[in-house]
Structure 1
Amino acid sequence: MKPFVRVTRGAVDESWHAGAIAVANEAGEVVAHVGDLDFFTFARSSCKPIQAIPVVESGALEAFGLDDSHLAIMCASHSSEPMHVEKASEILERIGLEPRHLVCGVHMPHSREAYEALVRRGETLSAIHNNCSGKHAGMLAYCRATGADPATYAELDHPLQQAILSTLSELAGVDKAAIRVGVDGCGVPVHALPLRNWARAFSTFVAEDGPHAPAMRRIRTAMGEHPELVGGSRDRFDTDLMRATRGRMVAKGGAEGFLAVIDTKERLAMVVKILDGNARAIPPVALKALEQLGSLTAAELDALAPYVEPAVVNTQGREVGRIIADFSLTRA
């Protein structure tokens, strides 16, 4: 597969990243691409909007007085800022459970500032600070709304995980048996599909009808209206893309170099995979593809300028190179 991102140091191309892109219309047809459409990959946290569909359809939001801000945190890979911890905690409080019921584990927050503030307050990291705590709280809300066992919600044979698997199968247009399942970093099942099928799955978010359309409209609205809850207040590309387009585009990044973008105006969905998993290549690739699709205005590109060709900076804070996307989309 041809590398399509150059990482420069001075006048030298020091490194390259290979990858693939698939763009699908609302009918699920691939209309533009780069690289191998059949590359089989996990979407990792980019799948969270799909994982949230059964939660919405369970009636959990209405049952526990949860609003779209809580739904946004269910779709988040958040930075563990106070607003994120507060929203995830509110979900648990309203369903009568505690952080100890989350099985996502503990890790250092994405936001260094949030972590340093937590240390100064003398607090200890817990599962509520995990970037996936909102997703897990939403999964527990599903259990409370449906009567499913909250103790085993992360197991593949749990009713929620089977509902997610069935929903993904339907949206992606593949049999459940063709979906390969692993364990995500936060402990719940994670799914792998060919890139073309991921594009098809996310394209259903812009369709006007279908059995899951009401839930998907609510999810994309929640994410678009609360982008800072999906990522963070700073240095989060998916958040900044949603901010720059005022929620017209809904974006969700995933570990190991995956990104999903839903364009509600052009009625397209785009998925990006960086083969070596290095997320530094995602922003310039996504913006170059969206520019070639004509999906971004000049003002929006200007607002996202730091991501177009991100600087490589050394320990002195000096710019020593650039990360440059270098490809042309092939149109169907």
Structure 2
Amino acid sequence: MDKPFAYVTRGGIAESVHAGVIAVVSSDGKLVGEFGDSTLVTFARSACKPLQAIPVVESGAMASYGFDEADLALFCASHSSELQHTERVERILEKIGLDESYLQCGPHMPHSMETYDRLIQAGKSLSSLYSNCSGKHSGMLAYSKHVGADIHTYHQVNHPLQQAILEVVAELTEVQKQDIVLGVDGCGIPVHALPVRNWAKAYAKFAHPDAFVHGDAMRQISSAMRAYPQLVGGTDRFDTDLMTATHGRILAKGGAEGFMMVAIPEQSVGIAMKVRDGNARVIPPVVIRTLTTLGALSNDELEALQKYVAPEVKNTRDEVVGEIVADFELSLT
């Protein structure tokens, strides 16, 4: 049975209730905390991007094209299409001798309304550049061009890059390739479904990478994301703000349909969580409550993240009419 872990109030009552699953796994592979059934098989969606970036790093494309840590952070991003994101994607593509027409992610309305307003005022159409996944796709193009693989089909499951990513996911999650369910993400890239606790196991390895296969690449990716959190998400994005408030002590990456993963290097643990109905609005308070239970946030950090502890629900008049509240007890072993 699904277990509720957050609710949304209006007029003093719980108007909506959201069930979910949480797994906390140590870097030695032990399940040390759980809420709900962490054997639930689900997609990590964009929270998998740090894993998807590993073959790009290991291919040698970083050095070959002169990419830096900021570029690597953008390879792992679900960005808001602010200028800091789109201009860097354009520079990445320029370095590899391609343009945005090679991006296979497709366009969508950007998260940043400032960007969208600017496009409308300029009379421009949306392109794949403004996809929140254009950073990931630019990294995948860099890999493909560097190793001599087809740059037009890098998004297809049988492409060498996607097969390399499948190998990485299987190794780090410790799930056999044949047991990983494949789907297609919103941006056209293959996505992988496996138990929540195994996703947490992979992120636990990012918390303590040197002891594991792909350790050097994981260390570089974790360092880049924590050094450039604004490139991973953007303004008023929870994973960005969590990494910023903790000064890079914590690694965080959200995914669509209410999925998120966190790594805490100081505690050598990884956390994965899924909102069962896919509504990501409850992720911030659930993450904050989980981290507080684990003693992973200082008072100053908690204060900096206060707006996420019980986010306000507002109406169209900007009046506070309710709040989003995490309400669960994490079972620790």
Per the normalisation by structure 2, the TM-score is 0.98
After superposition, give the CA deviation of every residue in 1:249-291 in whole Å (9 maximum; x if it has no partner): 1110000000011111111111110000001000000000000
Matched, 1:31 2:23: no
Counterpart-to-counterpart distance in 1, 2:33 and 2:240: 24
3-state SS, counterpart of residue 211 of structure 2:
coil
Asked if residue 209 in structure 1 is aligned to residue 211 in structure 2, the reply is yes
Superposed CA RMSD in Å reads: 0.8
2:324 corresponds to: 323
Counting only pairs closer than 5 Å after superposition, residues 46-195 of structure 1 correspond to structure 2 as 46-195=47-196
**Which residue of structure 1 aligns with residue 223 of structure 2?**
221
2:217 alignment partner AA: A
Question: 1:200 corresponds to which residue?
Answer: 201
Q: Distance in 2 between matches of 1:287 and 1:29?
A: 22
Matches within 5 A, 1:269-288: 269-288=270-289
Output the CA distance in 2 between the equivalents of 1:317 and 1:167. 45
| Unpaired stretches in structure 2, ≥5 consecutive residues | none
Residue aligned with 1:117, SS: helix
How far off is 1:6 after superposition?
A: 1.4
CA distance in 2, matches of 1:212, 1:107: 33
The CA deviation at 1:247 is 0.8
Query: In 1, Cα distance between the equivalents of 2:198 and 2:262?
Result: 14
Quick one: distance in 2 between partners of 1:330 and 1:240? Answer: 27
Distance (whole Å) between structure 2 residues aligned to residue 202 and residue 159 of structure 1? 24
Q: What's 2:245 paired with?
A: 244
Matches of 1:259 and 1:140 in 2, distance apart?
Answer: 26
Residues 28 and 199 of structure 1 are in contact (CA less than 8 Å); yes or no, is this contact kept in structure 2? Answer: no
Query: How far apart are the structure 2 equivalents of 1:254 and 1:151?
Result: 25
Aligned length: 331
SS in structure 2 at match of 1:150: coil
Deviation string, structure 1 residues 224-262 (Cα, Å, up to 9, x no partner): 010000001x22000000000011111100000000111
* CA displacement 1:61-113 (0-9 Å, x = unmatched): 10000001100110000000011001111111111111111110000000111
2:232 alignment counterpart = 230
Alpha-carbon distance in 2 for matches of 1:70, 1:192: 27
How far apart, CA to CA, are the structure 2 residues paired with 1:111 and 1:263?
29
Instruction: State percent identity of aligned pairs.
Output: 55
Q: In structure 1, what residue type is equivalent to 2:219?
A: R
Please, what TM-score do these two structures have when normalized by structure 1?
0.98
1:260 equivalent in structure 2:
261
Map Cα deviations across residues 142-181 of structure 1 (whole Å, 9 max, x no partner): 0111111111101111100000000110001111000000
- Alpha-carbon separation, structure 2, partners of 1:151 and 1:40: 31
